[in-house]
Amino acid sequence: MKKGILNYSLSEIESLMLELGCPKFRAKQIFLWLYRFGKNSFFEMTNIGKDLQIKLDEIFYIHRPKVANIAKSKDGTIKFLLELNDKNTIETVFIPESKRNTICVSSQVGCAVGCKFCNTGYNGFIRNLSTEEIVSQFLVVKDYLNLWDQKAERLSNIVFMGMGEPLFNHKNVLKAINNLMLDEKEGLSRRKITLSTSGISPIIEKIAKDLPCRLAISLHAPNDQIRSQIMPINGVYNISSIMNACRKYSEYHCYLKITFEYLLLKGINDSKECALELIDLLKNLNAKVNILQFNSWDGCSFEPSSNAKDFSAILQKSGLEAPIRTRRGEDVMAACGQLSAKNKISSI
């Protein structure tokens, strides 16, 4: 039975090359064909020899999930509904900007964290994505936008802010990140990839040294009382444990700021007192706060706050970088907290 080659790391393919009596460098050539040039046939990999092409085709397949639906926002954001082999669906979002193009990647089908402001968690958890299913989101977007030409625009940034909690699937997520970083010419580096987590503190500490990218924490409250109301997982991994884990990450990546995502909810966490408490919480960390505005979805009773500018100003006066993130793709349910993969499937 054939195996999906996109599930394998470079070192794993290097070992296979040696088993097949081929030089180890063939593995890097194969990876470049997959990730730089987007080939989905081994017979198009012209510098690896016919015999190896045949052998690889006997062992592996190269797979892309089906693009089941595409929704285009008036602001240029594109949301992809992808159908997996088992008929489950996930969503991936392409966000074009003047100086960069970002892809927002999912790591699970659904999410078990259950944040009360998030549509993904509202719909429950089904399963983790494989490494292949994670990296293929990147490849599908490049296919659709025809970005394989080396003179074309690039997907310059990746954010693991789509469906799911990445650290509940950290082995596959880290392998996917490392695979995508192998092509130096693509320009993807630890500064261009961000993993966003609700704060699974034991796993952050476990992988802190080897985490090959930026870390973002979905914090959304300055204290446990408020956070537990909107994020039930805080009852397991509270703010104190998250801050300790962030300090561990900073020991190994002191030059990288940790981003703390803060979704303003009217009457919940948007007061001046909350801002001052947040400043005190982050005072000893190399931190940045991304202020998010609530994006509505059916079944959620929260309301957006009108205090974003004042909240940001208080943080910035203290010396914290605190931009208000621009809403993107809200009209096609592609904005933060809106992903659900419940869109109508249609032919493309």
Residues with active-site annotation: 91, 336
Alpha carbon separation from 168 to 111, 112, 200, 236 (Å, rounded): 9, 9, 8, 14
* Residue of 178, 198, 191, 177 lying closest to 245 (CA atoms): 198
Strands 125-128, 258-264: parallel, antiparallel or unpaired by DSSP?
unpaired
User: Cα angle vertex 167, ends 99, 297, to 5°?
Assistant: 65
Contacts of 223 (CB under 8 A, 6+ apart): 239, 277
* Residue of 213, 104, 107, 100 lying closest to 155 (CA atoms): 100
Structure tokens at 3: 């195996």
Structure tokens at 346: 């249609």
Structure tokens at 334: 């592609």
Backbone dihedral angles phi then psi of residue 313, each to the nearest 5 degrees:
-60, -40
User: Cα angle vertex 118, ends 344, 164, to 5°?
Assistant: 80
Q: Which residues pair with 185 in a beta bridge?
A: none
Do 234 and 224 touch, CB atoms closer than 8 A?
yes
Do 197 and 241 touch, CB atoms closer than 8 A?
no
